Amino acid sequence: MMPLIIITLVLLWQFVLVGYTFSLAGNAADEAARAGTAVAPGERQGACQEAGLDKLPDAWTGSVTCGEEGGYVTADVKLKVPVLFPGAIGFPFEVEGHAGAVEEETD
């Protein structure tokens, strides 16, 4: 019975890590999109990437891509899901987060 309990706990912990990674990806995309709206178009990509990766814990690695479509700034974040321990190896798939924000007017 004990091995079954341990396997169940390990699987539950892994599902928690997957859910937390989805939460991190969504939040990072929101932060990146907001940061991209507050700067000039030439500085947008750098500010967007920096804001998206800034709040992520060190154990989660990923990428941030920002775009612009007619006054609307978008951000896509891809994060690797860690296996059992954050900072260790990751699954071969990535979790994606997407967000957008309306560009602020600059005078």
Q: Determine, yes or no, domain membership for 107.
A: no
**What is d(CA 5, CA 11) in angstroms, rounded to the nearest whole number?**
10
Q: Determine, yes or no, domain membership for 58.
A: yes
* Residues pairing with 80 in the sheet: 94
Query: HSE-up of 64 (CA within 13 Å, CB side)?
Result: 32
Q: Determine, yes or no, domain membership for 70.
A: yes
pLDDT tens string 36-57: 887 777 777 788 888 888 878 8
Instruction: Give the rounded percent of residues in the chain with a pLDDT score beyond 90.
Output: 22
Rg (CA), the chain: 17
DSSP letter (8 states) at residue 57: -
Query: Please, are residues 29 and 99 in contact by the beta-carbon 8 Å criterion?
Result: yes
Q: What is the pLDDT of residue 27?
A: 92
Residue 58, domain extent: 2-102
| Three-state SS at 42 | helix
Judged against a pLDDT cut of 60, whether residue 107 lies above it is answered with: no
Q: What is the pLDDT of residue 8?
A: 94
Q: Which CATH number covers residue 58?
A: 3.30.1300
Q: Distance between alpha carbon 46 and the CA centroid of its chain, in Å?
A: 16
Q: Determine, yes or no, domain membership for 47.
A: yes
pLDDT tens string 72-88: 888 999 998 888 777 66
Q: What is the pLDDT of residue 26?
A: 92
Query: HSE-up of 68 (CA within 13 Å, CB side)?
Result: 17
Q: How many domains does the chain have?
A: 1
Q: Determine, yes or no, domain membership for 20.
A: yes
